[in-house]
Amino acid sequence: MRVTASGLVLAGLLAAVSACTAAEPQADAHASAPATTATTAERAASAGPGAEAGAPALTIEQAQAALIGESDLGVPWTATDGTATWHDGLLKAATGQPDCQRLLEALYTDELLGAPAGPRAATALDDGDDAAQLRYQVDASHSADVDRTLAWLRALPRTCARFTAQTTAAGTEAVQVADAGLRDLGDARQGLRITLTAQPSAAADPTTLTLDVAVVRVGDDAIVLTAGALGTLPDDATTQALDIGVRRLSQVREQGRAQA
């Protein structure tokens, strides 16, 4: 992975990781994840409330076909070389506020929707110029489950607008959560802009991670996107990925109905 100077600073922080705190989240779910993964959990027999009438369940092959790739975003995005240096350093953290802790754990494990109700496909892309990483997944889910997650995300700019958390590698960090103002995409959506700023010591410069988080429901399925960078995120990466991804998932769903 190409890494900027700020990425090297955080890599140094990781080398000094101390013993985990008692409230530390679960172990890293991405440490050895390949660039593209898929989960084959069984989809529930009933389509559930809000499902499109007669819509077939998304298969794992269709979920994989609905993913975006490096060619969609263009230079400098490439297939990932592995977990971003900032992942453990700033997302592995604990706070005393339950809703905010749930958010931190969901970001760390990349499980904003929880365990998949059906097939899941995921991929990750790196922008080495900006020490950025974009994680993108397509979940076959149930509309009611996705809508519950969306309602929780919509509340976070109020319940977790500003809080502090204790990391295992970078000391105390200040976290801010704001509505990302997603435009009209899919059938329902919510986006967040999250900034996490840590200063390991008084003599050290602060390190800021900026995250864009988005969940978009398309019929009974969902797109989950997390894009993060040290400092400023690449312009329009989140919007471009979602624009392409929603169209692609809609096309895959239409093809599935035609073949049913």
Q: Residue range 187-195: average pLDDT?
A: 97
Residue range 56-69: mean pLDDT, rounded: 92
Q: What is the model's pTM?
A: 0.78
C-alpha span between 201 and 63 (Å, rounded)? 44
Instruction: Return the ∠ at Cα 38 (arms to 32 and 44), rounded to 5°.
Output: 135
Parallel, antiparallel or unpaired: strands 207-218 and 77-79? unpaired
Structure confidence by residue, pLDDT tens digits, 112-127: 998 878 899 999 999 9
**Residue 42: is its pLDDT beyond 70?**
no
Per-residue model confidence as pLDDT tens digits over 131-177: 899 999 999 989 999 999 999 999 999 999 999 999 988 889 999 99
What is d(CA 160, CA 32) in angstroms, rounded to the nearest whole number?
A: 31
Which letter does DSSP use for residue 18 in this model?
A: -
- The phi and psi torsions of 190 (rounded to 5 degrees) equal -155, 135
Cite the DSSP H helix spans in the chain: 5-15, 60-65, 70-73, 86-91, 98-109, 143-159, 237-259
> What does the alpha-carbon distance between residue 166 and residue 230 come to, in Å, rounded to a whole number?
18
Band of residue 55 on the pLDDT scale cut at 50, 70, 90: low
Q: How far apart are CA 215 and CA 245, in angstroms?
A: 12
Between 254 and 23, residue with greater pLDDT: 254
pLDDT recorded at residue 43: 37
Query: Could you give the CA distance from residue 233 to residue 227 in angstroms, rounded to a whole number?
Result: 8
Largest interatomic CA distance in the chain = 63
165-187 as b/e: b if 16+ CB within 10 A: bbbbbbbebebebeebebeebbb
- Look at strands 77-79 and 132-140 and give their pairing: unpaired
CB 132 within 8 A of CB 234: yes
Task: Give me the mean pLDDT over the 11-20 stretch.
Answer: 39
DSSP string, 26-95: PPPSSTT--SEEEE-PPPPSS--TTPPTTPPPPPHHHHHHT---HHHH-TTEEE--SS-THHHHHHSEE-
